[in-house]
A = this chain, B = another copy of it.
Amino acid sequence: MLTNYSLVFQESNRQKSIVAAIKHAESLCMAENQNFTALRRLVFEIIWENSVPLGAYEVKGILSRKTNKSVDPPTVYRAIEFLMGLGLVTKISSLNAFIGCPFPSSTRSNFFMICNECKRVAEVSSSEIDNEIKSIAGKLSFASERQQIEIFGTCISCKTDK
């Protein structure tokens, strides 16, 4: 089980992981012959700096403030699309919002635990669930390609806060 749960829900200092994430993004782009431009890097950082998924227009606002100029939607959506293509960012469909992927090179399922209270999202990668899905798909002759699993509930810190 691969998880960034403690990072998201318990640790305070995320800075280290962000630096590592940027390094990883850079080398991934290098390897894929893709350009990690200033704009893409900025959007990556904005999304990564938040443990809460951001909507595209929130990213737009932050980007605008950071660069001191107005930003139009396509600018943001294109950068996000690029980052999603590399698996560096994932969309949480039920929130229309985007979150950094902590282990983009994993081929396993995206599996998000979303706290209804604090809105933070942790990603878990479970081979057991993966295998179970494959098994069911196999029985039904469904060729699965991609899956998105969103679990809503209450995280440990919000539970104990009450």
Q: When the two chains form their complex, are residues A144 and B113 in contact, meaning their CB atoms are under 8 A apart? A: yes
The answer to whether A147 and B149 touch across the interface, beta carbons within 8 angstroms, is yes
CB closest chain-B residue, reference A147: B151
How extensive is the interface on chain A, given as a class? 35 or more
Q: How far is the CA of A125 from the CA of B143 in the complex (A)?
A: 18
Which residue of B142, B150, B155 contacts A147 across the interface (Cβ within 8 Å)? Answer: B150
* Of A19-27, A35-43, A44-52, A127-135, the one with at least 4 CB within 8 A of chain B: A127-135
Which residues on the B side are within 8 Å of A129 (C-beta)? Answer: 129, 132-133, 136
Q: Is A145 an interface residue (CB 8 A)?
A: yes
Query: What is the minimal beta-carbon distance from A117 to any residue of chain B, in angstroms?
Result: 10
A5, CB-defined interface residue at 8 Å: yes
B124 near A151 with CB under 8 A, answer: no
The answer, among B9, B126, B137, B145, for a CB contact under 8 Å with A116, is B145
A115 contact set on B, CB distance < 8 A: 142
Given contacts A148-B150, A151-B133, contact A140 B5 (CB under 8 A): yes
Q: Which of B126, B132, B142, B149 contacts A156 (CB 8 A)?
A: B142
Please name the residue on chain B nearest to A140 by beta carbon: B5
